Amino acid sequence: MERKQLIKKYLKFFESKGHKIIPNASLIPKDDPTVLFTTAGMHPLVPYLLGQKHPLGKKLVNIQKCIRTTDIEEVGDATHHTFFEMLGNWSLGDYWKKEAIEMSFEFLTKNLNIPKEKIIITCFKGDKNAKKDIESEKIWKSLGIKKIKFLGKKDNWWGPAGETGPCGPDSEMFVKGFEIWNNVFMQYDKDSKGNYNSLKQKNVDTGMGVERTLAILNNLDDNYLTEVWKPILDEIEHLFGISYNSEKNKRIMRIIADHTKAAVFIAAEGIIPSNKEQGYILRKLIRRAYTHLNKIGHYRNLIVPLIGTIFEIYPDYKHLHSQKDSIYKIIKEEENKFELTLDKGLRIFEKLTKNKKQLSGKNSFLLFQSYGFPLEIIEDLCKENKIRFSAKDFQKEQVQHQKLSQTASAGKFKSGLADHSEKTTKLHTATHLLNEALRSVLNKNINQRGSNITSERLRFDFNFPRKLTEQEIKKVENLVNKKISNALTIKREEMPLKKALASGIQSEFGSKYPNKVSVYNIGNFSREICTGPHVKNTKEIGKFKILKEESSAAGIRRIKAVIE
Ligand code: SER
């Protein structure tokens, strides 16, 4: 079966069961500083899993692109990927275990024609937070499944995606030893103290891995031999004259293919390689892919010729195609930059090891951190030059560094909009007031180009060609505070997206919305499409203060503000 067919079958099946299709969201989570990327289909649904009403109803389905970097070191085997696609269906306080499991069973056995004898199930074995899931076991048994295992939290509990949020026990479906689908019964909300509080509603969150399922359905024991990977491997073979049949090359080629694909998708979101957050991950992916290519003996401008295959694999990702030129440019520039760094790093390596028999932990970490050398490369260089290298000393240095940077970022990630604290809710409403105040004071063409809210501050990006004057900043701040003291009420209404856009209601530039949306009205002052959450009355917000106004990108300004 082809990817296209699998996706179509899944969406059609759940549509026939009353689900509405929601858009494939951006890889960069909106308003959620607790994670860098969308790691699962449920991610954009967090507010709704927590109890907010979704404009399209209680049963949803989609295909979602995801990035997970937590096990980047494991990439290289037959099943791990940084970028992958997930099919998912959700019940937002609607159906529960029986319907969810019955639908999964029907789809696997009737639509994908997997014999039920080949399916192995795992359920949650219970602990102090939740009971043993004998309910799910009973349902699977009633459907004729015989192999059911009970496992603990490490295996049969999912979430939260960040530090806090919805989570719960899950029941996983395995075929030929690979997990292909997961039904999560989300009935808990983990708070920042580590407590599992019962959610207002019982949700179902499922996720089926497209790559693994395609491998199973096509009788392949290596995901990389499916249509979503093979063209990249073929191109590597073709360009560099090496073969995927050799065990040594396999791992290297999988890493190159994986990292190149993930880099293309991250670059398509407008992320530029840098030394922090998503930009750092993009940099790391490009540099790792590059150095692995070097391992098989090639040099200079290597990743760029592989990019084309990714456009061919995913003709349906229109945003990828419309960003083609900028994706090429971003990756090419980083590759060029890395080539220079590599040359510089090689000279430093020579200096550091001249007349020496050993590379110290400090110096190996310097090469890693300041010159972007992946560890494998440092090891290889040492081997080639008969220099002793201690991975342990390197790790010691790395742990020390991590401790320092964790302390530095602890404040920042303490909590975010994902935990829907009172403070983030206030800041969220303040962001709407700021947006409208900018439009009133500066001009009506101003439009949101990104926002990020933590419990400490809000950050708001918008299009404007120049620096704001102090007077303008004061005017904007005063207008927001005036609206706060006017005690305006916030009202939510639902309407078709088309109608909202046609009536000039504010929306974020370039954002994807479902066909039916929530619109938040703040008195008669502001109207915006948004997923919330918001305060009930502006007087709850407190005093608004702009801390900083700066450039964020060409033609884009950034405001940081707090409430006191
Ligand atoms: N969130 C769950 C997972 O990622 C189910 O989609 O496995």
Q: Summarize pLDDT for 351-399 with one digit per residue, the tens.
A: 899 889 999 999 999 888 877 787 777 887 898 789 999 888 988 888 8
321 and 459 in a single domain? The answer is no
Q: Which residue has the higher pLDDT, 128 or 402?
A: 128
Closest-CA residue, ligand 1 atom 6, reads 207
Q: Which of 405, 412, 511, 319 is nearest to 36 (CA)?
A: 412
Q: From the CA of 161, how far away is ligand 1's center (Å)? A: 9
Q: Classify residue 169 as left (phi > 0), alpha (psi -120 to 50) or beta.
A: beta
99 and 166 in a single domain? The answer is yes
Judged against a pLDDT cut of 90, whether residue 293 lies above it is answered with no
Last residue of a domain, one of 357, 387, 410: 410
Using the atom order of ligand 1, give the atom closest to the CA of residue 183: 5
364 and 260 in a single domain? The answer is yes
Last residue of a domain, one of 410, 444, 476: 410
Q: Which of 42, 122, 185, 186 to mutate to test the pocket of ligand 1 (most atoms within 8 A of CB)?
A: 42
**pLDDT one-digit tens code per residue, 125-150:** 999 989 999 999 999 999 999 999 99
Quick one: pLDDT at residue 424? 85
**pLDDT one-digit tens code per residue, 474-515:** 999 999 999 999 999 999 999 988 888 888 898 887 677 888
Q: Is residue 224 part of a domain?
A: no
Domain count, the chain: 3
Instruction: Average the pLDDT over each of 298-307, 319-328, 424-433, 434-443 and give the range with the smallest value.
Output: 298-307
Query: Do the Cβ atoms of 314 and 281 come closer than 8 Å?
Result: no
Q: Is residue 223 part of a domain?
A: no
Closest-CA residue, ligand 1 atom 2, reads 207
Rounded distance between C-alpha atoms, residue 254 and residue 242, angstroms: 13
**pLDDT one-digit tens code per residue, 316-356:** 999 999 999 999 999 999 998 888 887 788 888 988 998 89
CATH of the domain at 464: 3.30.980.10
354 and 454 in a single domain? The answer is no
Q: Which of 206, 211, 212, 213 to mutate to test the pocket of ligand 1 (most atoms within 8 A of CB)?
A: 206
Using the atom order of ligand 1, give the atom closest to the CA of residue 42: 1
**Phi, psi angle pair for 463, to nearest 5°:** -85, 125
What's the start-to-end Cα distance of the chain, in Å? 57
Quick one: pLDDT at residue 410? 39
Q: Which of 155, 205, 208 to mutate to test the pocket of ligand 1 (most atoms within 8 A of CB)?
A: 205
Q: Which of 265, 334, 322, 332 is nearest to 37 (CA)?
A: 265
Q: What is the span of the domain harbouring residue 382?
A: 229-410
189 and 253 in a single domain? The answer is no
Last residue of a domain, one of 358, 377, 410: 410
What percent of the chain clears pLDDT 90, i.e. is strictly above it?
A: 64
Task: Find out whether the beta carbon of 158 lies less than 6 Å from any atom of ligand 1.
Answer: yes
Q: Is residue 45 part of a domain?
A: yes
Task: Find out whether the beta carbon of 184 lies less than 6 Å from any atom of ligand 1.
Answer: yes
Task: Find out whether the beta carbon of 172 lies less than 6 Å from any atom of ligand 1.
Answer: no
330 and 446 in a single domain? The answer is no
What value does the mean pLDDT of the chain take?
90
Q: Is residue 416 part of a domain?
A: no
437 and 483 in a single domain? The answer is yes
- Is the backbone peptide bond immediately before 160 cis, with ω within 30 degrees of 0? yes
161 and 64 in a single domain? The answer is yes
Q: Is residue 114 part of a domain?
A: yes
Quick one: pLDDT at residue 192? 83
Residues 6+ positions from 425 with CB-CB distance below 8 Å:
533, 534, 535
Maximum average pLDDT range among 15-24, 47-56, 184-193? 15-24
33 and 133 in a single domain? The answer is yes
406 and 428 in a single domain? The answer is no
Quick one: pLDDT at residue 420? 66
Task: Find out whether the beta carbon of 133 lies less than 6 Å from any atom of ligand 1.
Answer: no
In this prediction, residue 413 has a pLDDT band, given cuts at 50, 70 and 90, of: very low
Query: Do the Cβ atoms of 191 and 180 come closer than 8 Å?
Result: no
Task: Find out whether the beta carbon of 205 lies less than 6 Å from any atom of ligand 1.
Answer: yes
Q: Which of 205, 256, 276, 283 is nearest to 41 (CA)?
A: 205
Q: Is residue 195 part of a domain?
A: yes
Q: Is residue 31 part of a domain?
A: yes
429 and 401 in a single domain? The answer is no
Q: From the CA of 166, how far away is ligand 1's center (Å)? A: 11
Task: Find out whether the beta carbon of 186 lies less than 6 Å from any atom of ligand 1.
Answer: no
313 and 426 in a single domain? The answer is no
Q: From the CA of 22, how far away is ligand 1's center (Å)? A: 16
Q: From the CA of 173, how far away is ligand 1's center (Å)? A: 12
Q: Which of 133, 110, 107, 111 is nearest to 122 (CA)?
A: 133
Q: Is residue 92 part of a domain?
A: yes
**pLDDT one-digit tens code per residue, 209-266:** 999 999 999 999 999 999 999 999 999 999 888 899 988 899 999 999 999 999 999 9
Q: Which residue has the higher pLDDT, 419 or 541?
A: 541
Task: Find out whether the beta carbon of 207 lies less than 6 Å from any atom of ligand 1.
Answer: yes
